[in-house]
Amino acid sequence: MSRPVVSIIMGSASDLSVMEKAGEVLKELNVPFEMTVVSAHRTPERMVSHAAEAAGRGIKVIVAGAGGAAHLPGMTASLTALPVIGVPIHSSNSIDGWDSVLSILQMPSGVPVATVALDGGYNAGILAAQIAATSDKNLAARLVVFKEELKNKVLNSIDTVEKRF
């Protein structure tokens, strides 16, 4: 098993159904990753050590998901120079998802978090692969194929739609 280059973290195991989508697409693209729970509020020391040690362990990008008062992505970004992708989660403690989105999106100047859509675990995985691909030509080539397949899926659906009536 290769050393992980993407670290997927989430504030709670209850975020797994969204965050596993990032893992699934990384697996499909053959990108080595790790996935675990790190809570900003309930395991703050673990958040600090995870963020501080990630680069030294060979991680190139962190995907962090949380819901409600979603401080995990932003606090992780404050603790590392690695790029952090934030996934706002429509969790049980979220009012309607906006609290999760805004907590991750509205970062102060100097500490960016690349925020994907609400429950956007799948896109977060693709974006993480794209970041990792900037230093991995083989992965970059696999992403070109991935994009080509997306295009073909749409092109193949045109006939069905046009012949519907």
Between 25 and 91, whose beta carbon lies closer to ligand RP5? 91
Report the largest interatomic distance among the alpha carbons of the chain, rounded to a whole angstrom.
60
Does 99 bind ligand RP5 (CB under 6 A)? Our answer is: no
Taking CB under 6 A as the binding criterion, the range among 7-15, 80-88, 128-136, 142-150 that sits at the site for ligand RP5 is 7-15
CA pair distance 60, 73, nearest whole angstrom: 15
| Paired tokens of 77 | 């970004």
Does 115 bind ligand RP5 (CB under 6 A)? Our answer is: no
Taking CB under 6 A as the binding criterion, the range among 44-52, 60-68, 131-139, 143-151 that sits at the site for ligand RP5 is 60-68
Closest CA to 133 of 34, 60, 71: 60
Does 92 bind ligand RP5 (CB under 6 A)? Our answer is: yes
Closest CA to 120 of 45, 27, 19: 19
Closest CA to 98 of 86, 90, 106, 110: 90
Taking CB under 6 A as the binding criterion, the range among 10-18, 26-34, 44-52, 134-142 that sits at the site for ligand RP5 is 10-18
Q: Which residues bind ligand RP5 (CB under 6 A)?
A: 10-12, 14-15, 39, 66-68, 89, 91-93
